[in-house]
Structure 1
């Protein structure tokens, strides 16, 4: 059995890498069907096993790279490139994920009950009542929703739940 796994490790690494490459390029350019995201994520996870088997099979040759400068340089450049994505641009705090989440985070963080009520098709009193019912304190029509969440020791996701009328918001008092 180990011989069979060794024989297929490199071909599977190659095949899954090609799928990951194509789906990653499509995701980068925001094209293709919606199924590309889970395909990219899940098959990249599957890629781990053949990658480990490939390393196992080729460990002796692979280990000769470690004492040399190119491996150290490549690993350092890769780490710095990865860390660059975690440093907020312009000193701003950013949130990753889908743009609709970032939009909702911005609206909730900066919006007030008075400004979001028309968007939700509610009155200001309905918005403040939902927030109070969900256990938020210091609720005021002109106070930013992010500040209301912070004053209550809650997150902006909790504000979204309360305003969406989500069942999870009911009894979410803390």
Structure 2
């Protein structure tokens, strides 16, 4: 590969990585001011181009890594994460319809306390006591989770979490509410 390509491949990849890293961290912490999100999305193409040119211009050295087990493990793990992120388990469908666990959660939220008790193989009274432990008044067993949430000024997810035995609070995971 000629030296002119090598002379700009690494700075291009490094600069694009810096942009992607800064905007990615801002998006992660929901600091989306100005043009952060579009810059992150569109200049990621610059990162792809920079890394692609960098790999091509350093192919001999890169191909040497393909014979080393630790490097193959890292590349393989990155591939698994990339493919796994495409699985539709908890994402929304193409038309905004939910899939997987999201569908079940929405169905339970629109079900009565009696129905949820049947699903969980318990009684409405046990579920009502779980709700009372987190300060939620459940009223009638025929009330839906969504109705109970609305009467108590809580999100349906919080009430459903309490019914299912969780505290209903977020545990510090990294799923956002988008």
- Structure number having the greater helix percentage: 1
TM-score (norm 1): 0.48
TM-score (norm 2): 0.47
